[in-house]
Amino acid sequence: MTDEQQATIATLIHRLHRQYPMGVTTMGHCPQCENPSRGGDLCGRCLAAELADVSGQHQAAHCLHTAIKHTRDYTALLIEGEMP
């Protein structure tokens, strides 16, 4: 894997994390599928699909996406006493 591919994957992972913030944030629509997305970026589902395509690791990208969503949800439960 090239340095450029690694950098692209790292950027996609960062963008995926940004889709699941704690608290209030600005939301727009995903330019690919029109689902809600933070700041009008690609939504989590589309970012995970792009991550899978770039990395060739489809199951890993899906599992990471799920883990990020669950981390946000359970963090909110611990801090705020409820799931988002």
Looking at residue 38, its pLDDT comes to 93
| Location of structure tokens 């989590």 | 44
Which residue carries 């889709």 as its tokens? 19
> In a 10 Å sphere around its CB, with 0-12 CB exposed, 13-18 middle and 19+ buried, how is residue 3 labelled?
exposed
pLDDT above 70 coverage of the chain, percent: 100
Residue 80 has what pLDDT?
87
Average pLDDT, the chain: 94
Averaged pLDDT, 38-46: 95
Instruction: From 25, 72, 26, 19, select the one nearest 82 (Cα to Cα).
Output: 72
Which pLDDT band, with edges at 50, 70 and 90, does 46 fall under? very high
Q: What is the number of domains present in the chain?
A: 1
Supply the range of the domain harboring residue 66. 3-19+28-80
On whether the pTM is more than 0.75, the answer is yes
pLDDT tens for 53-77 read: 999 999 999 999 999 999 999 999 9
Closest among 60, 65, 61, 82 to 73, alpha carbons compared = 82
Residue 36 in 3-state DSSP?
strand
